[in-house]
Amino acid sequence: MKGRTEDITTLIELFRSSGWDEMHIEIDGLQLFLSTDPAARLGAGTMALPASEPRSVPQAAAIASEVSAKPAAAAIEIPGHWIAITAPNLGTFYRSPKPGAAPFVEVGQTVEASSDVCLLEVMKLFTTVKAGHKGTIRRVCVNDADMVEHAQTLFYIDPS
């Protein structure tokens, strides 16, 4: 669709200046989900609050992006059959078994359910995260050494 990129850019700018916490739009098969919370995911069960409930103040968006260095994350369409590999708890995400080594997995690589896909570090205690499903890695959603939260999507696997 012509002009779609401009439309999205405009929407992101509107969202930034709005002081809202989240925005979710669906038009003609396009889903756009914007949030100030880097861990927020589409359909993650946002509670319906009464209109009178005071929401966080506009400045929150600015500080949140500074804290997380990750402003309004736009989620582009993910095919419904892809499976998310999520973080079991908060921690620091590492793609390789040690610094300088090759990553556990790359996009396009096929994995078994028992394959290690990354490390999660909590106060110098490292645990490996398994793929959990057989398939092809389609997307790596987190940068190496970033903090991730509980239930945050780390990878998408295409099981077909």
Partner 1 sequence: MAIKRLFVANRGEIAVRILRTAKALGIETVLGVSAADRDSMGAQMATRAVVLGPAPSAKSYLDVNLVVHAAKATGCDALHPGYGFLSEKPILSKMCAEEGIIFVGPRAETIESLGDKLGGRAMARAAGVQTVPGTDHIATLQDAKAAARELGYPVVMKASAGGGGRGMFKAIDEAALDASFDRASREALAAFGDSRLYMERFVERARHVEVQIVGDGEGKVIHFGERDCTVQRRYQKLIEEAPASAVPADTRRRLHEAAVRLTSHARYRNAGTVEFLYDVDRDDFYFIEVNSRIQVEHPVTEETTGLDLIALQLRVAAGEGLGLEQHDVRVAGHAIEIRVNAEDPARDYAPSPGRITEWSAPTGPGVRLDTHACAGYLVPPFYDSMIGKLIVSGADRAQALDRLKAAIDSFRLTGPKTTLPLAAFIVSHPDFRDNRITTRWLEDLGPFESARSSAHGAH
Closest CA to 38 of 156, 143, 158: 143
Q: How far is the CB of 1 from partner 1 (least distance, A)?
A: 33
Compute the CA torsion angle 54, 13, 147, 103 (nearest 10 deg): 150
Q: Which is nearer to partner 1, 134 or 150 (CB)?
A: 150
Interface residue with partner 1 among 3, 29, 43, 50 (CB under 8 A) is 50
Interface residue with partner 1 among 60, 73, 74, 83 (CB under 8 A) is 60
Interface residue with partner 1 among 63, 76, 107, 113 (CB under 8 A) is 63
**Residues in contact with partner 1, shown as a per-residue x/- string from 8 to 27 under the rule CB under 8 A:** -------------x------
Candidate ranges 10-18, 47-55, 72-80, 136-144; the one touching partner 1 (CB under 8 A): 47-55
Q: How far is the CB of 3 from partner 1 (least distance, A)?
A: 34
Q: How far is the CB of 109 from partner 1 (least distance, A)?
A: 28
Binding site for partner 1 (CB under 8 A): 21, 37, 39, 44-50, 53, 55-56, 60, 63-64, 67-68, 88-92, 121-123, 125, 147, 149-152
